[in-house]
Amino acid sequence: MNQSVATVQSIDTRTASVLGDPNVWSSQLSDALESLGFAVEARAELIGLFESAQASVPGLVVIAQEEPDAAVRAARATRELHKAPIMVVMPRESDLIPSLDAGADDAVISRVDPAVFAARVRALLRRVQPGHPTASRTVVRDLVIDFETYQVTVADEPVQLTPTEFRLLAVLAQQCGRVVDPRALLSAVHQHDYSERDAQNLVKVHIANLRRKLKDNSSNPYILCVRGFGYMLERRGRLRDDDPLSPLIGED
């Protein structure tokens, strides 16, 4: 019954639900969302966000709180909001990794230029629905990535991924067995060019989350870090002892 409700539940693509703290959220950023065609619905508390999502899932969730990671975790744990893209407006740059680790799809500092904020939102929305690869799905041992339904399972158990996590995995799947460097990987996902250092840091966080959710470990690796080069989705259960990649494989 719950699955049926989730399947037919409408998504209001032109509504942005904003959980905004006045010390973090500004009217200029609200105007930027409206310039993109969004009807901005301000929420003072998380419960208001949850209740509105039961009727219609917003096309965008913006969390602008003093402690954004806690609010992101709560939103990601809510069935109705699971597929909604989440943008965090953070008061401190140090909130970036905790916010992404909690499940945010992108994050900006609160003093961001409104035009830059609008551009980041546009990029986020473009990548919510990943492009279709040639095959409808990729199977790597117990891991199944379905590009038509945007669902992932491991050993027949569903894996709940954020839109950004799914897109990262989809890019790796399209290049299965090939190493993708962090900048190319992040550019394909975010459609935005990052510096090498920023790309490495951001991808590292997302890959760590993916590995945890896929139950990826040394005895059953799916995503390999090839030191100095990037990441790859590995079809084999383990590397051969004489594999030339073996000396380059790292933990992160």
CB within 8 Å of 163: residues ≥ 6 apart: 83, 85, 105, 127, 128
Q: Please indicate, yes or no, whether residues 141 and 124 belong to a single structural domain of this protein.
A: no
Give the chain's mean pLDDT: 80
Q: Among 108, 128, 148, where does a domain finish?
A: 128
Greater pLDDT, 212 or 220: 212
Question: Is residue 42 located within the same domain as residue 95?
Answer: yes
Confidence band of 133 (pLDDT split at 50, 70, 90): very low
Q: Is the pLDDT of residue 56 over 90?
A: no
pLDDT value at residue 192: 64
Residue 108 shares a structural domain with residue 185: no
Please give the pLDDT value at position 135: 55
**Stronger pLDDT, 115 or 185, i.e. the higher one:** 115
Are 17 and 124 members of one domain? yes
Which of 100, 128, 156 terminates a domain? The answer is 128
Residue at a domain's end among 128, 161, 180: 128
155-166 confidence digits (pLDDT tens): 889 999 888 888
Exposure on the CB side of residue 36, measured as CA atoms within 13 A: 26
Tens of pLDDT, residues 73-84: 888 877 777 778
CATH of the domain at 119: 3.40.50.2300
CATH number where 228 lies: 1.10.10.10
- My answer on whether 159 and 106 are in the same domain is no
User: Could you tell me the pLDDT band of residue 4, with boundaries at 50, 70 and 90?
Assistant: very low
Q: What is the pLDDT of residues 86-108, one digit of tens each?
A: 999 999 999 998 898 888 888 99
pLDDT of residue 124: 83
Residue 15 pLDDT exceeds 50: yes
180 and 233, same structural domain? yes
One domain for residues 227 and 155: yes
Q: Is the same domain home to 38 and 144?
A: no
Average pLDDT over residues 140-148: 84
Domain count, the chain: 2
Say what the pLDDT of residue 28 is.
94
**Residue, of 205 and 174, whose pLDDT is higher:** 205
Which residues span the domain enclosing 31?
2-128
Total-model pTM: 0.54
Whether residues 175 and 224 fall in one domain: yes
Do 177 and 159 share a structural domain?
yes
Which segment of 7-11, 24-28, 29-33, 43-47 scores lowest on mean pLDDT? 7-11
Say whether both 104 and 210 belong to one domain.
no
Percent of the chain with pLDDT over 70: 82
Examine the domain organization and report whether 99 and 186 are in the same domain: no
